[in-house]
């Protein structure tokens, strides 16, 4: 093998299964949901290849069925964070020295295991622990995670192949080395795939990881570690600890071997972490790499020429899938006055057909928000909108936490384009709409761009090419992912 140059397999997107009536995959996921609900798992931390338990047990409840207990996780301490760092650093040299194709093979095997024997368990854990319906779990916890593993191997191969030209008598080579120390992966609750990828991507390149997941994602995090272990990941390469943020931060951000942060979460938390790292620069062996993705106050804007049915469907699907708990979810929309009646009519009809409830009933489109803190925050804005003069709740607006953290898909009509829910990220099933005068298209584009500091995703709907070109330029800094008629 030392005399060969290897290329990675050509990656393909993992097909999304339908889970239709009488399908094999539906039968398997139903059985797995039933099995997991009967179990009471004692979920350990994973440090240096060992499963670590403590005397501090914290119950895990499905957000949609808060009176049911799925099991407990073992809360750690600063000692466990230090142990995780030591284990990572002990594994570092051997892992970095492993040929890249062998590291790649581990994650390609993880993808195959995920799409095969782990599929039902990963989906079921995500459904129960994070209250995702089967479609949302399938596209995330299996398909996107497998795509991350497979495509990242291809990207790694391409990167390693990028070499400088050599000249007569001289060999020029570029070595892509892992960072000098360990990487801290701080991951969110809303995507199981992102949690796995924030660990796997740097590990694939020879880095070692200390991973702190969101407390609300621990149930599926255990499955990820089992998957990595079965795929052949050596002990200590990825270490999983369950501690609160300050406990992790006090140890990690004061450790001289801290080499990088891989983060997805709120902008406020990321700002705090970046500032902390900056203040601690003299403590570190090298300059840490800081990589993060944060919030979004994502928009939809419709031109008077747009198809109102398409706009209404985009508002519903973009805002209410997974209860709006995606950083890519639309949460503010700008609709021209001439179109508003048709858009409202279609949205009203469609929302009447949407069911809310537990994930075990596959006809439920909307499930529960992630926890009580999120529930209380989101509902406080709905309550305020019912009283404020500048806004009106026109669809939905009901909520209850008797059995689970359920909030109806809610549409707020804001006469004030700077009303708080037009500007503030709620991370829930709430869409705020501002109706603008048709003649104010250009003015409204500027309003969209200037309303929020976030610039993650946005969409424009129009059948007028000139209007699309105008929007494309006016909103060039308003969204990283910019959709046209989609």
Catalytic residue IDs: 293, 327
User: Three-class SS string for 43-57?
Assistant: ECEEECCEEECCCCE
What residues contact 175, with CB distance under 8 A and at least 6 apart? Answer: none
Give me the residue label for tokens 């596959």.
362
CA angle 382, 385, 388 (to 5 degrees): 155
SS3 (DSSP) at 292: strand
Give me the residue label for tokens 């782990």.
118
By the 8 A CB rule, do 461 and 307 touch?
A: yes
Rounded Cα distance between 107 and 223, Å, is: 15
Q: 390 φ, ψ to 5°? A: -85, 5
Rounded Cα distance between 216 and 29, Å, is: 21
SS3 (DSSP) at 121: helix
Q: Evaluate the CA torsion angle 121, 124, 126, 129 in order and state its sign.
A: negative
State which H helix or E strand residue 209 sits in. strand 209-212
Rounded Cα distance between 156 and 105, Å, is: 12
State which H helix or E strand residue 383 sits in. helix 372-387
Which residues partner with 431 through β-bridges? 411
Nearest CA among 58, 59, 79, 55 for reference residue 69 = 59
SS3 (DSSP) at 402: coil
- What the block records as the tokens of 450 is 């200037």
- What the block records as the tokens of 222 is 């255990």
N-terminal to C-terminal alpha carbon distance within the chain: 47
Rounded Cα distance between 239 and 17, Å, is: 31
Which residues partner with 332 through β-bridges? 299, 432
């Amino acid at each position: 093998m030392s005399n060969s140059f290897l290329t990675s397999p050509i990656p393909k997107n993992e097909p999304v299964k339908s889970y239709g009536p009488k399908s094999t995959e539906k039968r398997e996921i139903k059985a797995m949901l039933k099995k997991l609900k009967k179990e009471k798992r004692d979920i350990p931390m994973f440090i240096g290849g060992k499963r670590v338990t403590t005397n501090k047990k914290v119950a895990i409840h499905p957000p949609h069925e808060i009176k049911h207990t799925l099991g407990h996780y073992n809360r750690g301490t600063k000692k466990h964070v230090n142990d995780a760092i030591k284990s990572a650093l002990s594994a570092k040299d051997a892992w970095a020295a492993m040929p890249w194709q062998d590291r790649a093979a581990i994650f390609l095997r993880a993808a195959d295991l995920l799409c095969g024997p782990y599929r039902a368990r990963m989906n079921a854990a995500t459904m129960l622990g994070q209250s995702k319906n089967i479609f949302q779990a399938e596209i995330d916890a299996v398909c996107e995670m497998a795509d991350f593993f497979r495509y990242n191997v291809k990207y790694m191969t391409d990167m390693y192949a990028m070499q400088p030209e050599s000249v007569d008598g001289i060999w020029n080579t570029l070595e892509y080395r892992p960072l000098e120390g360990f990487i801290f992966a701080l991951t969110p609750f809303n995507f199981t795939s992102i949690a796995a990828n924030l660990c796997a991507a740097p590990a694939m390149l020879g880095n070692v990881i200390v991973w702190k997941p969101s407390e609300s994602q621990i149930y599926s995090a255990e499955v990820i570690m089992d998957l990595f272990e079965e795929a052949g990941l050596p002990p200590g390469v990825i270490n999983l600890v369950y501690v609160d943020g300050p406990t992790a931060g006090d140890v990690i951000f004061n450790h001289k071997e801290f080499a990088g942060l891989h983060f997805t979460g709120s902008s406020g938390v990321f700002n705090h972490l970046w500032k902390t790292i900056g203040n601690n620069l003299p403590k570190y062996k090298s300059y840490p790499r800081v990589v993060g993705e944060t919030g979004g106050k994502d928009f939809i804007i419709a031109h008077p020429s747009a198809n109102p049915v398409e706009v209404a469907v985009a508002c519903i699907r973009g805002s209410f899938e997974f209860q709006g708990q995606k950083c890519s979810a639309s949460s503010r929309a700008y609709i021209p006055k001439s179109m508003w009646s048709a858009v409202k009519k279609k949205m009203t009809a469609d929302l009447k057909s949407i069911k809310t409830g537990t994930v075990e009933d596959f006809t439920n489109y909307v499930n529960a928000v992630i926890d009580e803190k999120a529930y209380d925050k989101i509902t406080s804005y709905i309550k305020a909108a019912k009283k404020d003069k500048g806004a009106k709740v026109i669809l939905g607006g009901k909520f209850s936490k008797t059995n689970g953290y359920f909030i109806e898909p809610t549409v707020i009509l804001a006469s004030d384009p700077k009303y708080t829910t037009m500007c503030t990220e709620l991370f829930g099933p709430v869409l705020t709409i501002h109706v603008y005068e048709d003649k104010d298209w250009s003015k409204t584009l500027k309003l969209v761009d200037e309303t929020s500091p976030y610039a993650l995703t946005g969409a424009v709907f129009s059948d007028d090419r000139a209007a699309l070109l105008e929007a494309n330029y006016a909103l060039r800094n308003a969204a990283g992912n910019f959709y046209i008629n989609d």
